[in-house]
Amino acid sequence: MVYLDYSATSPLLKEARAAMISAMDLIGNPSALHTPGHQAMNKIEEAREEVAKLINASPDEIIFTSGGSESNNTITNIFAGESVAVSAIEHPSMLESAKTRSKTTLIPVDETGKIDQKNYAKILEQKVPKLVSIMLVNNEIGTIEDVEALAKLAHDSGAVFHTDATQALGKIPIDVKKINVDYMTISAHKIGGPVGIGALFVKKGSPFTPLIIGGHQEHGKRAGTYQVVNISGFGAAAKYVSTRNTPLLYKEKVLPLRNLLAEQILTNIPYSSINTPLDCSAPNILNCSFEAAEGESIQLYLDAKGDIIVSTGSACASGDGKPSHVIMATRHDAEIAHSSVRFSLGLETTTADVAKVMTTLPEIIKNLQGISTLKAGNIKKEDSYYA
């Protein structure tokens, strides 16, 4: 199998698996004062230190949650009823929860997915949001936002700043002190940890209201019995990222493969275009569109004919009947969004994997374009690639 869906979830690292299996033998509730409880709590605090170290935070600034969605929901819950501004390309767990809980202004992005500076300044000035949330790396097209500068502007206007760094963790260096954010969402399973565990960085002194109440865990900031096994797995994955310096590995090993795949697709597949801004994006994400071919069909043919695993921004695969809001926000074209495919590479991805894609994909696209009612070539050339 050629697995190119690492941004959806990553295989469990053997280090994380070992830590989890070991933690399964811990019988005590970490909140208990007896010896087994204390032993379990030690594991949690070890993991917390590793996670904190990964983003240059203090351990007491880390709250374990059930994952990125809970972390994002925790943020919107703190600012429920307040004026909130979030980027138009946030993950649905931020977009939908913000819209549900608050009067929310969407900050538009340009064709690369970068925040539109003029509109951002206007929103800060006119809407006076209490909270601004802009993701560090977009999950669909990989755009890296200039969070340090954006956070400064938010702070200057009196707002606090949250960033969803779920797709950035382990892929690019992260330093919460340098970029000076007030809150940050991260998740374990994007870095080879288990699904069902994530964290929220809360800078000391930042406003906080727990989303889940009814327990004193996490100093009253997140009720619920500690998930010792998952937290141990997260800690081990975090340690792996720190000790191996995976952002450097991604830059040296994965980025050239990602760019090779982009170049080969553009060269060899008629009417293809790249939705990812290659010079300002995470090193492992490549989002492409193929005119007149539909994304779910591309995805399933790649699976069936090449054992190649990718994801798509097509409405047909989304479950809610809508095409990717990210591609719609950047390229403003439903056909382009329906035809988008995300290749997300990992440290295990090889040149042979890229070659396998290129022996399979061109034929699939040619055939889908051949039986399509749409004529490829209708999308204006100048609108078709941004970087």
Catalytic-role residue among 260, 300, 316, 355: 316
**Region of residue 321 (left: phi > 0; alpha: psi -120 to 50; beta: else):** left
| CB closer to another protein out of 104 and 314 | 314
b/e for 48-77, b at 16 or more Cβ within 10 A? bbbbbbbbebeeebbbbbbbbbbbbbbbbb
Shortest CB 259 distance to another protein, Å: 8
Q: Distance between CA 165 and CA 188 in Å, rounded?
A: 11
- The answer to whether the beta carbons of residues 89 and 138 sit under 8 Å apart is yes
Q: Which residues bind another protein (CB under 8 A)?
A: 112, 259, 262-263, 265-274, 277-280, 292-297, 300-301, 304-307, 314-317, 319, 321, 323, 334-335, 338, 362-363, 366-367, 370-374, 381-382, 384-385, 387
Q: Provide the 3-class DSSP secondary structure of residue 171.
A: coil
How many other C-beta atoms are found inside a 10 Å radius of the C-beta of residue 32? 12
What is the rounded (10 degree) CA torsion for 222, 98, 110, 144? 0
Residue type for 316, please?
A: C
Strand partners, 64: 199
- The answer to whether the beta carbons of residues 249 and 347 sit under 8 Å apart is yes
Q: Which pairing describes strands 83-87 and 103-107: parallel, antiparallel, or unpaired?
A: parallel
- Pinpoint the alpha helices (H) of 314-373: 315-318, 325-331, 334-338, 351-370
Q: Is 316 a catalytic residue?
A: yes
- Of 58, 384, 78, 359, the C-alpha closest to 208 is 78
Q: Distance between CA 65 and CA 197 in Å, rounded?
A: 6
Task: Tell me which residues are annotated as active site.
Answer: 316
